[in-house]
Amino acid sequence: MSDAKMQSVLSSLSQVARQLEALPSDRPAPDTSCVKLNTNENPFPLPTIIMQSAIAALERQYLYPEDDNISLREAAANAYGVSKDQVIAGNGSSELLGLIYRAFLAPGDSVAMMSPGFSFNRKLAMLQGAQFLEIGCGEAHSLPVEQLLFGPAKDAKFILLANPNNPTGTFVPVADIERLLAQSDRLIVLDEAYVDFAPDNGLRLIDRYSNLLVLRTFSKSYATAGVRVGFGFGHPEIIGRLRNIQNVFNMNVIGHAVGISILAHRDAYADNHKHIKRERQRVTLALLQLGFSVAPSHANFVLARAPAGQDGSWWQAALERQKILVAFFPDKGLENYIRVSIGTKEQMDAFLAAARDISGSLKMPRSRRWAASGSASALRGR
C-alpha cells in the first residue's frame, strides 16, 4: 500500500483511534529465566482436581463454548449466595470493565477513579472519548467520600473503586463504601480483584444498593491469570444489559470448566492464600530493614518506597540486572516506589537476596563498589 493510500486509510479512522500509535511488532519476548514479580500473578499450579477439569475440557475443543456462560453463572450464583441474573461472567474482569465503559460512557462524559489506581482505566475512558478524573486518597489512603459526592467527580457517570487498591494494596472499610453508596445515585463499580487476601468484601451490599456493581477475578487468588475467568455482580437490570452487549462466545471451554471447578473447590486454595499472606509479611519486614517504607498491603503484592535519595526506576533496573522483575510506575507520586508481587518462597528468597546485595553495594566505598560490580559482572558472564 502506497503512503498516499495509507494516509487515506488512516484518515478514515475514528478520532479516538487516530490518537493511538501503532504498537511496534519488534518488542523482545519476555526473558523466562527471570523471577517474575511484576504483574501480581499467583505462581502456583492448579490443584489436581481443578487441573483434571481443564484437561477434560480439551476433549470438547471442537465445540463452541456455552453461550451466555449459563452454567458458570449458575455455579457462581450458588457459590456466592446470589441469583443467576445478578451474575455476569467474563474473559477476566478486564473484559467486564470494558463493557461497563462502553455501556455507560459517551463522548464528553466523565468517569472518576481513586488515585493511584489501575492505569488501564485511563485507556478505557479515552476509547469512549470520556474525561478521566483521578481523585487522590491522600497519605491515609482513606475514601474521600465528600470529594466523590460534591467535588470534581460530582458529575461523573460512574465511580471506580478498587478494594484492596492496586498499586497500593491498601484497604478501606466496607462501611465507608456503603456510606458512599447510600448518599449517591450514581453507579459505583467496586473492583475486588484482590479481595481474597483482605479482611472483608462488599458483595453482600448488592442486594441493598442497586447502584453497586462488584467485579471479581480468579487471576490473583486462584492462580488462573492465563485462563481468564472473571465475574460481575449487581442488579439484574444492569447485569442483563451488560450481558446483552457482550461478545458472543466470550469465554472458552477451559475457562468455563476451570471456573466451575474452582467455585466448587475454593477450599483447595486455603494453603495458597495463607502462604501469600505469610510471605507478604516476611517481605514487608525485610524491606523495612533495608530502609524501604512499605504501605500496609491486603493484596498479593507490596508497594515499597525506596530509601531516601533513591527512586523506583533505579531499583527496578538494578533488580532486573539480577534477573528479578518488579513493577515501577512513572505516575506522579509513585516515582520512588516499586511494586513487588508475592510469589513462591524460593522466588521471594531470590528477590530479597538481590535487594540485600544491591543495598549493601550502595553502602560500599566507591572503589570497593566498582570492584564488586566487576566481579559480579564476570560471574554473570560464566
The more confident residue out of 232 and 10 is 232
Which residue do the cell numbers 477476566 mark? 92
Q: pLDDT band at residue 139, thresholds of 50, 70 and 90? A: low
Q: How is 272-284 classified by DSSP, letter by letter?
A: HHHHHHHHHHHHH
Residue 350 has pLDDT above 70, yes or no: yes
- Tell me the chain's radius of gyration from C-alpha atoms: 23
| Closest by Cα among 156, 62, 59 to 110 | 156
Kindly report, residue by residue over 304-322, the tens digit of the pLDDT: 999 988 999 999 999 999 9
* Higher-pLDDT residue of 327, 144: 327
Say which range, 24-33, 157-166, 261-270, has the weakest mean pLDDT.
24-33
Cβ within 8 Å of residue 241, ≥6 positions away: 103
Place of cell 479512522: 13
Where are the alpha helices (H) located in 34-85, listed in sequence order? 48-58, 70-80
Peptide bond between residue 199 and the one before it cis (omega within 30 degrees of 0)? no
CA pair distance 133, 141, nearest whole angstrom: 17
Assess whether pLDDT exceeds 70 at residue 25. Answer: yes
Q: 382: pLDDT confidence band, cut at 50, 70 and 90? A: very low
Band of pLDDT at residue 101, cut at 50, 70 and 90: very high
pLDDT at site 376: 39
**Read out DSSP for 75-130?**
HHHHHHT--GGGEEEESSHHHHHHHHHHHH--TT-EEEEEES--THHHHHHHHTT-
Q: Looking at this protein, which amino acid is placed at residue 357? A: D
What are φ and ψ of residue 112, in 5° steps?
-120, 145
Q: H-helix or E-strand containing 158?
A: strand 158-162
Task: Check whether 258 has a pLDDT greater than 60.
Answer: yes
d(CA 33, CA 318): 16
Q: Answer yes or no: are the C-beta atoms of 43 and 325 closer than 8 Å.
A: no
What is the model's pTM?
A: 0.90
- All residues at 6 or more sequence positions from 41 whose CB lies less than 8 Å from its CB, including other chains: 219, 220, 223, 225, 341, 343
* Domain residue ranges of the chain, discontinuous segments joined by +: 35-42+270-362, 48-264
DSSP at 322: T
| pLDDT of res. 30 | 78
- The superfamily (CATH) of domain 35-42+270-362 is Aspartate Aminotransferase, domain 1 (3.90.1150.10)
CA dihedral 331, 176, 191, 72 (to 10 degrees): 170
Cα(87)–Cα(75) distance, integer angstroms: 10
* Fold of domain 48-264: Aspartate Aminotransferase; domain 2 (3.40.640)
> How far is the C-alpha of 177 from the C-alpha of 188, rounded, in Å?
9
Per-residue confidence band for 247, with pLDDT thresholds at 50, 70 and 90: very high
260-297, pLDDT tens digit by residue? Answer: 999 999 999 999 999 999 999 999 999 999 999 998 99
Q: State residue 27's pLDDT score.
A: 76
